[in-house]
Structures are given as C-alpha cells and as structure tokens.
Amino acid sequence: METGKWRAAVVTLSDKGYRGEREDKSGPLVRELLAQAGYSVEKEVLLPDEQKEIEDCLRRLCDEDGFDLVVTTGGTGFAPRDCTPEATLAVATRNAPGIAEAMRLASLKVTPRAMLSRGASVIRGASLIINLPGSPKGAKENLEAVLPSLDHGLAILTGNAGECARP
C-alpha cells in the first residue's frame, strides 16, 4: 500500500485545552506532520484527561471508524491526571513497545527528561495507536523519530506487506 492511503486520527488529551483555557498547538502540529508524510488525517478529537473517555474514543476510532493510525498527544507525563498510557494499554490487543522505545531514545539525545515520558504504542485489531507527549516540541521530536518506519509497519499490520526486513 502506498504512503498516503493510511487513514489517521489525532486525539489531543488536555484538561485545559478541553476547557478552553489554553490553545492546543500539539494536535494541529501532529496533523500537519502526518499530512506532510502523506497520511490522510480525517479526524481530530480534543478530550479531557479522563481515562474512560479516552478508552471509549480509542475503541471507537479503531473499531467503528477503522482508522489505520491513531496518534494521541498529551497525558503521558507524571502528573496525577496523566492517564493516556493507561487508557491506551487498556484497549490494546497487542503491545508494540519498540515504537515508544524509539521515540524515547530519540528524545534522550535532546533532553534527559525524555525518560519521564510514559507514552505507549499498541495495536488494537488492525489499528496502530501511538502516544506522543503534549508539548509541540516533544510531539514533533517523537513523531519524526518513528514516521519513516510507520508505513511499513502499517502495511504489515493490515496484511499489505510481508514480514519486517531491513530496508
């Protein structure tokens, strides 16, 4: 499957953004980066840091809407209300830890605080869910670290490519 045929959704998790107290800049940036990489970003969602709401949204985007890729931004830190990784893991059918590991590794080259990101990467059915940090800088760094390999991973996940091999 060619790049550009993957359907993507972006979910921003932010209490302040949801309440209109802060403009979200990460969601639009993630949408732009995905579109530049050839993804068809068909949906954007803004939610508060409420685990059940996040789980319900992720299930709907994967199961009902059939998105190939769901990228979240926000809620991956140590704050008491940061629950994006827990919601993501709760809806996973399989873990895909290498993506989150690669993102943290890339960010560690920029800041030692990258180790504080708890973002997860999982598979639900035929959809890939990736958690990015909520800051625009962190979201960009993390997404750019894994974008080159996502097309092949999605092709394998959806049965449109063979096994993983060296590029």
Instruction: Give 56-90 pLDDT, tens digit per residue.
Output: 999 999 999 999 999 999 999 999 999 999 999 99
Q: Is residue 158 part of a domain?
A: no
Tokens at residue 135, please? 């800051």
> DSSP code of 107?
H
Q: What is the mean pLDDT of residues 125-140?
A: 97
Q: What is the pLDDT of residue 161?
A: 73
CA atoms within 13 A on the CB side of 5: 9
Rounded to two decimals, what is the model's pTM? 0.94
**Structural domain containing residue 65:** 7-153
CATH of the domain at 34: 3.40.980.10
| Residue 7 Cα distances to 37, 43, 76, 120, 143, angstroms | 12, 9, 24, 20, 16
Is residue 165 domain-resident?
Answer: no
The answer to whether position 1 is within a domain reads: no
Residue 167 belongs to some domain of the structure: no
Predicted local confidence at residue 166, as pLDDT: 55
Structural domain includes residue 19 = yes
- Does 2 fall in a domain? no
Residue 102 has pLDDT above 90, yes or no: yes
- What is the percent of the chain where pLDDT is above 70? 94
Structural domain tally of the chain? 1
Indicate whether 159 belongs to any domain. Answer: no
For position 167, what pLDDT does the model report?
54
Q: Answer whether residue 32 is part of any domain.
A: yes
Q: What is the mean pLDDT of residues 15-26?
A: 94
